[in-house]
Structure 1
């Protein structure tokens, strides 16, 4: 992909406004995350349990609300007021961080903010699709993912400067302001009311079971599509292992002699690696096949996590440049994992189910986020932080081998169409290393697939993720 192709979608004035809000809000979210970590770990001097609680507070709304938000997004006709309201609410909740007296109050505010994001995310996906024409779809996908990863470079570095100069609460003020900017830019976008892609008469008329039936349709599509099952299980296992050690990363950095003022630079290195990894995938695509890319990415991340575990065991101190290099490789590998998951989702899901399928498939990996951080904290208390990093890294590498084996096995499994006769098929799951297509997939509003969500709604900031 050439650089000209990458920015083609920015010629669209409506997408340009949405992208501007996304870029500003992305930087603010990373300011927010680093400020929360510094507040909890350095200012209040809490340990692994508090960081695990923060991760759980972020995960709960996404698990509970995301599937229902996906159904609502498929039904919704007027989307702009919902997006603006979510941004305004989150701005107010972030301002609440300034007066939070203790950890429980802070976690309650984080939970409420994430709940607003769980609604914002699927609605934002549908808005992006409706304003970008078919020819600019790949450009919009690439520039959106790149913006989120670039924000991981700028946000932590800027957060380090702000925290050093004015303290953590100044970072919260900036984040609150970014949500206001995002709301203003969304308000400037003219979004026509649409006829919902989903919403049968029985559901719209309030007949019992309509909402539940629509949710079941999305879940059933995931369960009957082998490629979706494989990528969802793989993503869930990856997130579980990553989040087992990720919430301990600030403590690990402290043990490795990384000062508070240098913490943001390590995270920025992760973001730089992820941004360049995203560009590499945009340039060369899925030539090795999505499952091969996923396997190599998991193995690379696992190897680097093991390096951190060795460093912790050897009590290395002060080598900030080394951990920036390790973070860069982790970010580069993470890009492959983050792109393959939504790539397979979009290739295997018809337009009318995309809101529900994406929300449902994402809910399973996020569900494990509830268990992973507490488990990591408990293991760290019993075995030490180094053991958690070594164990998680080795397990990620083994998972990569398993995914590679699945991709090489390459069975072709036809997917029966429940609406048609017994010998008809809605699509065929091709060899995992080959691009997959839905044969009878209806055309979307502007004829393109959905891209991975990188707006401000559903992101979950973690140290290495």
Structure 2
């Protein structure tokens, strides 16, 4: 389960990620709650903040993938992490001094989104250079494990700290914790990285990456499925805050607890993915995980009480993490090394780039149809997308249906 940790460079990388991710989740909860406080619990305003944070992904992810193929990924990550820490520091100072206004939060959401748009595809494609192809599945799963371990700890800390000292100190704390990633990257031994030859600057490299994916039906299907599941189903950054505040009338601690219970499930899904990392990811597992996630999200949206809703988030988290890790490793193992940065840039574009649409839509649905509606509609869309993609792949021979389903198809034709 932990085989990637035998690699010293990966131990440094993973340790920094664990510490920094705690700060990231503390800031995530503080940012959402600050927007709600400044706008009198307006779900549309929360959706706008999320959209601004993810809009740069839509604009920059493809170019970030090109940069990741051209330049030293480790040095790029050091610079970007330093910029992220500075942004958290400035927002924290505005907050603790009482000067913060909602437009300040919007501005820093966008700035953070710009840096994240460069950081995420670079980090995703850097993992395989640290551990190699044989360990990439395990490393991706362990990255998800550390992310979701922080997702349990961070919101729990944030919910208590917001009540005690307010949101500003959490932004400052994230600025300090982000330094852990920089330290880990600096301490790595560059000679032991399995770096691919850097891409020489030339025209048409972005189009080349897009043509590469377009010519691969297996990759195209994963991209389409990831887009629909992430844009319409994985809207927890807005929907959980709205459900906590507007449906169950809970405070910041109640919102933090919902994020924590979701993270318990995602942590379980990540650990299971790490355990089975010796097996190559299968398309049927990806489709089943997406469909199961959609159904479970609808079920969670129907829960009558705060307690039952919180408990229902555990299996939702398990299913969504199984989907995410399977999709990520499927793409990473399917591409040639010289294309990895650009393909991962496109992957992160479809994974996060729909949020500028999905986040305001989630806020509008919650405001117009009730706080539960984003979960009900988003879950239905995710399940339907899995069914449609499964049918398309079955017709193209890209996925093998179970024997009972194939038998039914033969009977119908007869």
Q: Report deviation, 1:226.
A: 0.5
More helix by share: 2
User: Can you list the C-alpha shifts for 1:378-397, whole angstroms capped at 9, x where unaligned?
Assistant: 33333333344333233333
Give SS of 2:190's match. Answer: coil
Asked if residue 199 in structure 1 is aligned to residue 199 in structure 2, the reply is yes
Give SS of 1:38's match. Answer: helix
Aligned to 1:146: 145
CA contact (8 A) 2:270 2:321 kept: yes
Aligned mate of 1:50, from 36, 45, 49: 45
TM-score by length of 1: 0.78
Aligned to 1:348: 334
CA contact (8 A) 2:294 2:378 kept: yes
Distance change in 2, residues 1:433/1:29 (3 Å): farther
Aligned to 1:442: none
Moved more, 341-350 or 127-136: 127-136
Q: Report deviation, 1:269.
A: 1.2
Q: Report deviation, 1:134.
A: 5.4
CA contact (8 A) 1:276 1:332 kept: yes
CA contact (8 A) 1:270 1:327 kept: yes
Q: Report deviation, 1:49.
A: 1.4
Aligned to 1:218: 209
Q: Figure out how many residues of one structure are paired with residues of the other and give that number.
A: 395
Distance change in 2, residues 1:410/1:23 (3 Å): farther
Distance change in 2, residues 1:124/1:346 (3 Å): closer
Distance change in 2, residues 1:331/1:244 (3 Å): closer
Distance change in 2, residues 1:287/1:431 (3 Å): farther
Give SS of 1:26's match. Answer: helix
Aligned mate of 1:30, from 25, 28, 34: 25
CA contact (8 A) 2:289 2:320 kept: yes
Give SS of 2:302's match. Answer: helix
Counting only pairs closer than 5 Å after superposition, residues 235-274 of structure 1 correspond to structure 2 as 235-242=226-233, 247-254=238-245, 255-274=247-266
| Separation in structure 2 between the aligned mates of residue 127 and residue 295 of structure 1, nearest angstrom | 27
| Separation in structure 2 between the aligned mates of residue 123 and residue 352 of structure 1, nearest angstrom | 13
Asked if residue 389 in structure 1 is aligned to residue 375 in structure 2, the reply is yes
Asked if residue 178 in structure 1 is aligned to residue 164 in structure 2, the reply is no
| Separation in structure 1 between the aligned mates of residue 184 and residue 329 of structure 2, nearest angstrom | 28
Asked if residue 373 in structure 1 is aligned to residue 359 in structure 2, the reply is yes
| Separation in structure 1 between the aligned mates of residue 105 and residue 328 of structure 2, nearest angstrom | 32
Distance change in 2, residues 1:272/1:231 (3 Å): same
Distance change in 2, residues 1:374/1:286 (3 Å): farther
Asked if residue 293 in structure 1 is aligned to residue 285 in structure 2, the reply is yes
Q: Report deviation, 1:40.
A: 1.4
| Separation in structure 2 between the aligned mates of residue 285 and residue 8 of structure 1, nearest angstrom | 10
CA contact (8 A) 1:288 1:433 kept: no
CA contact (8 A) 2:244 2:254 kept: no
Aligned to 2:114: 115
Q: Report deviation, 1:115.
A: 1.3
Q: Report deviation, 1:328.
A: 0.5
Q: Report deviation, 1:15.
A: 1.7
User: Can you list the C-alpha shifts for 1:59-107, whole angstroms capped at 9, x where unaligned?
Assistant: 111111111111111111x444332221221111101212052111211
| Separation in structure 2 between the aligned mates of residue 265 and residue 382 of structure 1, nearest angstrom | 26
Counting only pairs closer than 5 Å after superposition, residues 405-444 of structure 1 correspond to structure 2 as 405-406=391-392, 409=394, 411-412=396-397, 430-431=398-399
| Separation in structure 2 between the aligned mates of residue 344 and residue 135 of structure 1, nearest angstrom | 13
CA contact (8 A) 1:300 1:329 kept: no
CA contact (8 A) 1:159 1:171 kept: yes
| Separation in structure 2 between the aligned mates of residue 396 and residue 38 of structure 1, nearest angstrom | 27
| Separation in structure 1 between the aligned mates of residue 372 and residue 123 of structure 2, nearest angstrom | 40
Aligned to 2:325: 339
Distance change in 2, residues 1:260/1:229 (3 Å): same
Q: Report deviation, 1:257.
A: 3.7
Q: Report deviation, 1:296.
A: 2.7
CA contact (8 A) 1:291 1:403 kept: no
Q: Report deviation, 1:11.
A: 2.8
Q: Report deviation, 1:198.
A: 4.3
Aligned to 2:411: none
Is there any run of 5+ residues in structure 2 with no aligned partner, and where? 403-414
Q: Report deviation, 1:373.
A: 1.9
Give SS of 1:307's match. Answer: helix
| Separation in structure 2 between the aligned mates of residue 58 and residue 241 of structure 1, nearest angstrom | 17
| Separation in structure 2 between the aligned mates of residue 127 and residue 343 of structure 1, nearest angstrom | 13
Distance change in 2, residues 1:272/1:410 (3 Å): farther
Counting only pairs closer than 5 Å after superposition, residues 128-139 of structure 1 correspond to structure 2 as 128-133=127-132, 136-139=135-138
